[in-house]
Structure 1
């Protein structure tokens, strides 16, 4: 999320485009890499390369910081895989106390994370198969045993899936002591494969899908009834609802069911509890746009309300602040955030940028590639505005001339309080005139707006910055995809930092 620090200047540092850059400290580089980690191939970095860099950075950092960062990533950024990676690496390197066992018990919050952690432990230690895990770290073993004790029969059955490591394998490896006779029975059932099949909306629809129907109309009627029953029961979680809006509409559910869906989507308490990353609403919005249904308009409106609710409690905003929001639409930003997602890094920047626009009265928005272009859009329609930006992204080309954003302000003598650039931070000048973001920013602060502040929202975490990030220069670097990036804007005024927030984590 947010860094307010001095980078180490190194003339030999180059970003992935070969432009001069500034190196981050090991703590900050690890933080940026974690906050943006999808662990899938990206434009500049493969998944294996990112994973290797994470492992190297763990070795270069203090163990307590790594542990706090893992907890922060799991509990504040709602990430699942990368906290497990940090935990395993710490288990390989750290000895002498119970830090690892406490960390394992903290970051493992779902039963399937037990098996995911063990599978990565095998990979990290170059072991092939479950049988080679018999030399498990004692602290890892202790932490996993504590985690096992937290899960009931429903959770164990729901996440007892086929894979490189099964839950029964994990049970044999860590030997958890059951809390009571009831839990001993559950462990026995897990070993024997006799845990009752849990009722979930997935199992119900899966069973329905295997049935034979006399006609396509009968099949559609059965699925319509199933979706209406699920919606009415309240058993469909918020994320499941978001991901199945297209299926629900295509099942032609009743008006009453659609009203229930919209009420659920726009419930501010449900939105807050769901802890959805902002771009999840965009993914749902785009899926709904593809449906032929008379209810599409009301569901799109509900999604607009939902994402507005997700940003309702953002702190650190003064409606009178003059802001410029610039979105990088270069080729390297046209990459999915993960292997299974249709959402691009570019989309994440647009969503966060439009959320910011919704918070200010005096705001300039635009996008840059070969050129910089201002685009004026109405407030109050975050997702619709993202779609409009997306439709027009080819108008500026696909280079990364971020310096043009600032040059535009210099040339117009236009004063803004905050410049917010959403980018993968791999900026370079394709015009050949030698100008840079660093030079443009110095000129802007010297000749136009001496109190202006620049926020670079790093959406990729490649480990460098295009200019010196220092409070005295009015520059901050923010990393991550979550709306948590906005929480730190108020902290900037108080001289706080993301690292300071991480240090506050109590490992217990």
Structure 2
């Protein structure tokens, strides 16, 4: 693939607010849509619309790039569903080699992703369940067969979901994987017969503790607390499970020693790196703990601060000579949850990513914009606390999307900066009716104040349009996603690459 070439200026279109906007290249548009795909209804776009747009974009891109992007999304952005969508869509249009089978085997990394991929395959091919799937694409079948061979009895039992449209047993009959040995044949036979051993999980242990026969409520509470303490002490509770259950630990009134061990686990750099958590998950945990207003919460809050800094340990900031502006979009469309089951908003994702970068910059202006633009002075070293401070004050700037005010403020002050970074859904418009645009302000700022300045748009929604032409030689670049991996893209841009350089690195 060749991405590093010049483009002619794009013809402006209109964004969801009716303001001028510029289309992205097919590769950039697919990258942005994938990196921000929750595959659920969003403020401007329904889930079905996003899926249809993904399908169109897959067809517009080279198959190898689509495969590399799917692997990048699964292994670097920690996304699960959208890589399966890319694999299924690629299977619909690409034949003649083993690209699809290799891709399926690569992105299916948990046993429950086998039936999930088949359910996606059924939907994409207008079929309505396991009995109507019929014959699978040969390449999909081969990829899933390779996946089946990787999972043992525990993994198959743990992820065999009751009530799912496609069960692992259904998948086994459709895929017909060849067992690698007699032991695996026995496991497949158990899956078919429904006799796989019930897997031990921390959930089953806690459930048993809460159902002690003939116990009083106080005794059950003590049993649950003891179980939590045992799980933490024995390290049988995974990092993500620990992160999601901090509130439960506090409410169970576990011992101080257990809290201390939980804090040590959360803040341990090695475990943070292995856990591969999206930065906003630390914010979600922080808010759950903060809401309890308990004395025992203080060390957990400190541990979460250490953990989120550790999650971006390789983030390269900028030295004292580099002047940076970080602007966070807090408009109404940014108040959208990233998924139906999450309390985290797009707005929160932008704040977390901005504050991670703020923690590494030596000369930085931080602020938020809606109807107005406001600078907010914040201390370094307190990423989550700073997010909460901005969150508390978001109503001070209103809920429009006047992003051009960030640059207008710099131009009117004649303030020279090196980098402006805007965290937004890219649906910018002028609520005053004057038709001012970010593109106009940026051109004027570069022409009259800071010719060397660069503008980075951190696209958190992936709608396929940008408020200015990121393909022209205007010192503008687009980065998409909710992961700390956006900073790897930033580093690539700083080193002469582009937003797709990291994807091209995928060994596939």
TM-score under structure 2 length normalisation: 0.97
Matched, 1:49 2:55: no
Unaligned runs of 5+ in 1: none
**Residues 9, 22 of structure 1: 8 Å contact kept:** no
Measure the CA separation in 2 of the matches of 1:8 and 1:338. Answer: 37
In structure 2, the CA distance between the partners of 1:213 and 1:465, relative to structure 1 (3 Å rule), is: farther
Higher relative contact order (CA 8 A, sep 6+): 1
Name the SS of the counterpart of 1:39 in structure 2: coil
**Residues 489, 501 of structure 2: 8 Å contact kept:** no
In structure 2, the CA distance between the partners of 1:37 and 1:83, relative to structure 1 (3 Å rule), is: same
Name the counterpart of 1:108.
Answer: 108
Name the counterpart of 2:149.
Answer: 149
Name the counterpart of 1:346.
Answer: 347
Name the SS of the counterpart of 2:104 in structure 1: helix
More displaced 10-residue stretch of structure 1: 206-215 or 176-185: 206-215
Measure the CA separation in 1 of the matches of 2:336 and 2:96. Answer: 42
**What do residues 161-219 of structure 1 show as CA deviations (whole Å, max 9, x unaligned)?**
12111111111111111111111111111111111111110111123334445322112
In structure 2, the CA distance between the partners of 1:22 and 1:310, relative to structure 1 (3 Å rule), is: same
Matched, 1:461 2:462: yes
Name the counterpart of 2:386.
Answer: 385
In structure 2, the CA distance between the partners of 1:8 and 1:430, relative to structure 1 (3 Å rule), is: farther
In structure 2, the CA distance between the partners of 1:213 and 1:485, relative to structure 1 (3 Å rule), is: farther
Name the SS of the counterpart of 1:188 in structure 2: helix
Measure the CA separation in 2 of the matches of 1:234 and 1:501. Answer: 34
RMSD over aligned CA atoms reads: 1.5
Measure the CA separation in 1 of the matches of 2:343 and 2:160. Answer: 28
Measure the CA separation in 1 of the matches of 2:4 and 2:256. Answer: 51
Name the SS of the counterpart of 2:473 in structure 1: helix
1:15: Cα distance to partner? Answer: 0.5
Measure the CA separation in 2 of the matches of 1:472 and 1:95. Answer: 38
Unaligned runs of 5+ in 2: none
**Residues 319, 363 of structure 2: 8 Å contact kept:** no
Measure the CA separation in 2 of the matches of 1:212 and 1:446. Answer: 77
Name the SS of the counterpart of 1:389 in structure 2: helix
1:419: Cα distance to partner? Answer: 0.5
In structure 2, the CA distance between the partners of 1:213 and 1:220, relative to structure 1 (3 Å rule), is: farther
Name the SS of the counterpart of 1:21 in structure 2: strand
Matched, 1:81 2:81: yes
1:470: Cα distance to partner? Answer: 4.2
**What do residues 261-308 of structure 1 show as CA deviations (whole Å, max 9, x unaligned)?**
000000000001111110000000000012243211111011011111
TM-score under structure 1 length normalisation: 0.97
Name the counterpart of 2:281.
Answer: 280
Q: How many residues align?
A: 505
Name the SS of the counterpart of 1:17 in structure 2: coil
Measure the CA separation in 2 of the matches of 1:210 and 1:132. Answer: 41
TM alignment of 1:57-456, pairs within 5 A: 57-162=57-162, 163-315=164-316, 317-456=318-457
